[in-house]
Amino acid sequence: MALCQQPGLFIDRLKLIHGPNSLSLAREIVGDIEQISPATEVRPHIIPQNDPWDFSEVYTSLRDFARAYAFDPEREDYLVNITTGTHVAQICWFLLTEARFIPARLIQLSPPRDRREGDDYSGTHSIIDLDLSRYDDIATRFVAERDEATSFLKSGIPTRNLAFNQMIDQIEKVAIRSRAPVLLTGPTGAGKSQLAKRIYELKKAQRQVSGAFIEVNCATLRGDQAMSTLFGHVKGAFTGAQSARAGLMKSADKGVLFLDEIGELGLDEQAMCLRAIEEKRFLPVGADEDAVSDFQLLAGTNRDLSIDVAEGRFREDLFARLNLWTFQLPALKDRKEDIEPNLDFELRRFSEREGMNATFNKEARDLYLRFAMAPDASWRANFRDLSASVTRMATLAPHGRINEETVREEIARLSRQWRSGQGARPVGEAILDEVLGADGAAAIDPFDRAQLAAVLEVCCESASVSAAGRKLFAVSRLQKTSGNDADRLRKYLLRFGLTFDHVVRSGT
């Protein structure tokens, strides 16, 4: 209201920004302005915001508004009222104006110094042109807020670890400034997939990508289906190809493709990936013409790819392309100061996922954190262990309140789990999940599961494919005049898209 009452300042058009819950207040303000400044055109504009104090959310929504607005600075003079809104909104307006996302000057309102009955309450105003040199110091002081406002990655990754924080800062700079592939390494469950999704969300918020986030675990890609899944196929390309398939790389066009466990890809698929990265082109199975897809590649692995290159299991040229930006994610046991913030994070995830609230009492929380942060807490599966632990406690908590008894039961459960896993490898059908991945194991018929699990166990116990073949075919080999047990085993494993080397690496 004061803005439209300033002496010597006439507002031709006012963009009134508000949230969806302020419709009645907005209508009231529009009506009041019509009375005090009838010539001012007021245009209400709704911007949904869940949390007006969240830098990432506020900055993104206001920047999207600014980018969509049809500014015409040659014909119009724009002012941004920096006096209203939360402090976060005021900082974001300043950043957007200083960075010239909004071609405007700032207007700041001040109330009258003496508020006596009958006085004019409109106060005074001052206009700030940030293009003038005397405001350079102000811009400098706001650099820290700008960094915080755009720190998307940290807002989704609870961490207190200094080294990890510094790495996230570097990843954020790379994600914003580069379209080169990024390689995320680290143990299983360290958070590679979550970080990849946050990188995508950051790039999308920066309007650097408009397509989808496509994620695939390469350990689930086996045999002839691997090429088709990644690169697609044309109708009739092979038996059963009754219709064309675009493939995951085509689905990632204009977006981000995350190849988790990229070290599990075969050499042929690696060669196709390299061409797709460098030329943005690839040949679908059975096709005569290339398909085109402009995507950014993120890759993840829990292996040392330099060793795989030396041993001929991974292409050196592809590794060179991936190794431009490589970031090693530490294991949870190496950043135990992050257990407490992630405990709260996992409780929130449980609440959102299950629709039920769960909290600790103070004694139970302290008991769990002492155990979780102890030197002998191994957290073998990293954040997967922590997520599963929180889910169990929250599910079993009486009336949604996690007490000391619930925590003691969970501590005992985790301790047994970690003790049983020390120096052991998966046995029984559990080895199927380790070698094939959960999705791949689920695709095996029950008829084949027990036999395949037994074969995989023998492979993991044997020094070579020939030694494994001699054990598995110990009876039938005696009844033959000649034969190659190793070849028989290789052919059996190939039925499931497996090789002996892969089984040994995955199952031990």
* pLDDT tens, residue by residue, 362-392: 899 999 999 999 888 888 888 888 989 999 9
Residue given tokens 């207007």 in the structure block: 107
The percent of residues in the chain predicted with pLDDT above 70, rounded, is: 88
In three-state secondary structure terms, 186 is: coil
| CA distance linking residue 192 with residue 195, whole number of Å | 5
| CA distance linking residue 48 with residue 308, whole number of Å | 49
Domain boundaries, the chain: 2-147, 152-235+244-328, 333-421, 430-507
Q: Please report how many Cα atoms fall inside a 13 Å half-sphere around the Cα of residue 207, on the Cβ side.
A: 7
Residue given tokens 């088709």 in the structure block: 228
Domains 2-147 and 152-235+244-328 share a fold: yes
Count of C-beta atoms within a 10 Å radius of residue 146:
19
Structure tokens at 318: 């592809």
Q: Residue 440 is which amino acid?
A: G
| CA distance linking residue 104 with residue 113, whole number of Å | 28
What are 43's strand-pairing partners?
15
- Which pLDDT score is estimated for 424? 46
Weakest mean pLDDT among 22-36, 85-99, 114-128, 460-474: 114-128
Strand intervals (E) in 146-252: 182-185, 213-217
Structure tokens at 468: 């494994």
The set of residues, in sequence order, having a beta carbon less than 8 Å from that of 88 and lying 6+ positions away, is 52, 53, 54, 55, 58
Contact 503, 460 (CB under 8 A): yes
- Which pLDDT score is estimated for 445? 82
Query: Shortest CA distance to 55 belongs to which of 153, 146, 164?
Result: 146
Contact 393, 410 (CB under 8 A): yes
> 295 or 246: which carries more pLDDT confidence?
295
Provide the Cα torsion 40, 41, 42, 47; round to 10°.
Answer: -130
| CA distance linking residue 125 with residue 9, whole number of Å | 9
- Which pLDDT score is estimated for 359? 87
CATH 2.60.120 fits 333-421, yes or no: no
Model confidence band, residue 115 (pLDDT cutoffs 50, 70, 90): low
What are 183's strand-pairing partners?
299, 326
If you ran DSSP here, which 8-state letter would residue 281 be given? E
Residue 458, pLDDT above cutoff 80: yes
Instruction: Give the pTM.
Output: 0.55
Residue 36, pLDDT above cutoff 60: yes
The set of residues, in sequence order, having a beta carbon less than 8 Å from that of 208 and lying 6+ positions away, is 176, 179
Residue 327, pLDDT above cutoff 90: yes
| CA distance linking residue 229 with residue 235, whole number of Å | 14
CATH architecture of 2-147: 3-Layer(aba) Sandwich (3.40)
Structure tokens at 249: 């790389």
The set of residues, in sequence order, having a beta carbon less than 8 Å from that of 142 and lying 6+ positions away, is 91, 94, 95, 98
| CA distance linking residue 223 with residue 235, whole number of Å | 19
pLDDT in tens, 151-177: 555 555 666 777 888 888 888 888 888
- Which pLDDT score is estimated for 78? 92
Question: Nearest 5°: CA angle at 109, between 104 and 115?
Answer: 170
In three-state secondary structure terms, 102 is: coil
**How long, in residues, is the chain?**
508
Q: What is the CATH number assigned to the segment(s) 152-235+244-328? A: 3.40.50.300
| CA distance linking residue 377 with residue 370, whole number of Å | 10
| CA distance linking residue 177 with residue 132, whole number of Å | 28
If you ran DSSP here, which 8-state letter would residue 219 be given? G
| CA distance linking residue 303 with residue 311, whole number of Å | 13
pLDDT in tens, 198-207: 899 888 887 8
- Which pLDDT score is estimated for 137? 59
Residue given tokens 């008894």 in the structure block: 405
Query: What's the average model confidence in pLDDT over 316-334?
Result: 91
First-to-last C-alpha distance (Å) of the chain: 71
